[in-house]
Amino acid sequence: MDHGKTSLIKALTSIDTDRLPEEKQRGMSIDVGFAFVDLQKINTRVEIIDVPGHERFLKNAIAGLSSAQGLILVVDANEGLMPQTAEHLKLAKSFGIEHCIVAITKIDRADPELIKLVKEDVEEFLRKENVKCFGFYLVSSKEGIGFDELKEGIAHHVESLPEPPKDAFFRMSVDSAFHKQVKERLLDLIQNSKGVIKLAEVVSKLKITQGILGYILKDLRGYTVVEGYLLDEKSAKIEELESFKKLMEFMQFSIKEENDLFNNVRKFT
């Protein structure tokens, strides 16, 4: 669902929240993204979480909404309300967010009458859902229209939010940008190991979890994982890789034969 959330955030904060290669290729958000805007008027930094709009990535949207206190509902001026728009608002309500501001995007491509109809539809929808709206803001990320007004609207929204309870459960959103540093250290480690290294050694030396290593390896091109080893395909020859794979297969076969023999001897005795 391309209503222009990520483009809006980039125009507002100068931060591109689509960081994954797949997101760049598809032109759509897959995972949550993080940005911030400093509002000088109220001397406050507002953290912004970009949640995926597509129904296939609903779990990621839930992860992003779980720590939010406010909501910017983004609606395309040409498309109007979509099923995912309603779904995301209901999700926000389930986390106790019953207030929002509305940003109607891509106004440079829409007729004024159409924009008026979309605004009326959203107003009616919010009334039915019993969600308080702190204002409508017409923006164009392409032309840079309406962002000063949107910042003022966000500031007003933030000032109107109640103070969280002192004994509320603490949540801190962690931006996954640190993976870039870990990835660079991993590449250095592989080069220093002449292109072959045990995964267990990587985890130990980089002081990371297996989950984080798996996340990094998903986007690592030019490397092969074989039987618990990470191999650099660029520095190692194809024949060497094949020999390594065959060696590992032979070792596995030998271990299996030894285990079978041991089991047979135990049965005999």
Catalytic: 2? yes
The residues, ordered by sequence, that sit 6+ positions from 150 with a Cβ below 8 Å of its Cβ are 12, 101, 103, 137, 139
Task: Catalytic residue, from 3, 6, 88, 106: name it.
Answer: 6
> Which class is 5-160 in CATH?
alpha beta
Task: Catalytic residue, from 18, 44, 54, 132: name it.
Answer: 54
Q: What is the pLDDT of residue 188?
A: 83
**Domain boundaries of the chain, sorted by first residue:** 5-160, 176-268
Catalytic: 179? no
d(CA 145, CA 11): 10
d(CA 186, CA 33): 23
Catalytic: 17? no
Q: Between the CA of residue 163 and those of 80, 153, 159, 166, what are the distances in Å?
A: 33, 18, 10, 8
Does domain 176-268 correspond to CATH entry 1.20.58? no
Catalytic: 24? no
d(CA 159, CA 88): 23
Tokens of 263: 């089991």
Question: Which residues is 34 bridged to in the sheet?
Answer: 49
Q: What is the pLDDT of residue 116?
A: 94
Per-residue pLDDT of the chain (269 residues; tens, 9 = 90+): 455 788 898 899 888 877 666 656 666 666 677 888 999 889 999 988 888 755 555 666 666 666 678 889 999 999 888 888 888 888 888 778 889 999 999 999 899 999 999 999 999 999 999 999 999 999 999 899 999 999 999 999 998 887 767 776 666 655 554 556 777 788 888 778 777 788 778 878 887 766 677 767 766 777 777 667 777 776 655 445 555 555 555 455 555 555 555 555 444 44
Task: Catalytic residue, from 3, 5, 88, 106: name it.
Answer: 5
Q: What are phi and psi of 37, to 5 degrees?
A: -135, 135
